[in-house]
Amino acid sequence: MSAALLRTEHVAKAFGGVQALTDASLEVTEGSITGLIGPNGSGKTTLFNVMTGYERLDAGNVYSRDQKITNASPQKVFGLGIGRTFQLSRIFPRLTVMENMLVAGQHRSGVRNPLARAGGPADRRHAMELLEFTGIAGHASALAETLSYGQRKLLELAYVLVTDPALVLLDEPAGGVNPSLINHIAARIRDLNRAGKTFLIVEHNMDFVMGLCDRVTVLDYGTVIASGPPELIRDDPRVLDAYLGTDEEDEDVRS
């Protein structure tokens, strides 16, 4: 069996006295759409941050294929072909939508005149294709701050795709987005997956996750409690416990 595109082993991370992750082991196989679910505050976003270099972990390891990338910097992780989006989509508000697309484009172009105009015709064409693909091409010359919330999610997805990462981590791609747009986003993810891209998705919207993912991993109190195909996860008593169980903290501190 080939090595997983991304794998974590017994990852632990604490913020002061709060143990955000205690034992999180996760595997994302190439070509899959893997879902990561769990109640609020279960450590999903923290796990994302740890995997992509935005937080340092206390224990455990992260691997990309067979390479150890524990505590690598965000640039390094991105350079290895792992792109991500954020729960509250982080775009560059005072750049135009097209300029947002060109920020990430750099390691396609190699060494050249640093004062040359950003984005040659090929880069711009490629960026435009992605904007058309996500459906926001009509806003290419608008400032990104003028986009609606859902459009920002699409822009973030589009600019992560610019450098053609093998794996894309999506943090709540459907969160706070209106239903017609949710279907649109799901369809885009399915298209990309068919074209060979691997996804790891954190999401609260159960229909979205169950309809889209091949495999679902469930986190609760920083520990992986179940992992498997969506049909099994849906009926797993441990998962039902975690979601419907007794006193649940209802906050997600680190968003």
Binding residue (CB under 8 A) for another protein from 40, 67, 71, 178: 178
Q: How far is the CB of 73 from another protein (least distance, A)?
A: 7
Binding residue (CB under 8 A) for another protein from 71, 125, 164, 232: 164
Nearer to another protein, 3 or 181 (CB): 181
Nearer to another protein, 79 or 211 (CB): 79
Contacts of 16 (CB under 8 A, 6+ apart): none
- Distance from C-alpha of 225 to C-alpha of 38, rounded to nearest angstrom: 9
Q: How far is the CB of 93 from another protein (least distance, A)?
A: 6
Q: What are 227's strand-pairing partners?
A: 217
Nearer to another protein, 140 or 210 (CB): 140
150, 178 contact by CB (below 8 A): yes
Per rule CB under 8 A, is residue 140 in the interface with another protein?
A: no
- Distance from C-alpha of 54 to C-alpha of 64, rounded to nearest angstrom: 16
Count how many Cα atoms sit within 13 Å of the Cα of residue 79 in the half-sphere of its side chain: 10
> Exposed (0-12), middle (13-18) or buried (19+): which is 66, by Cβ within 10 Å?
exposed
Number of residues that bind another protein (CB under 8 A): 64
Nearer to another protein, 110 or 237 (CB): 110
Site for another protein in 62-91 (CB under 8 A): 73-75, 77-79, 84, 86, 90-91
Contacts of 153 (CB under 8 A, 6+ apart): 85, 89, 173, 177, 181, 185
Structure-token pair, residue 114: 């640093």
Residue window 186-215: x/- pattern of binding to another protein, with contact defined by CB under 8 A: -xx--xx-xxxx------------------
Structure-token pair, residue 63: 């691997």
- Distance from C-alpha of 10 to C-alpha of 25, rounded to nearest angstrom: 5
Per rule CB under 8 A, is residue 143 in the interface with another protein?
A: yes
- Angle 136-154-233 from CA coordinates, rounded to 5°: 145
Binding site for another protein (CB under 8 A): 52-54, 73-75, 77-79, 84, 86, 90-95, 99, 102-104, 106-107, 109, 114-119, 129-130, 132-136, 138, 142-143, 146-151, 154, 159-161, 163-164, 178, 180-181, 184, 187-188, 191-192, 194-197
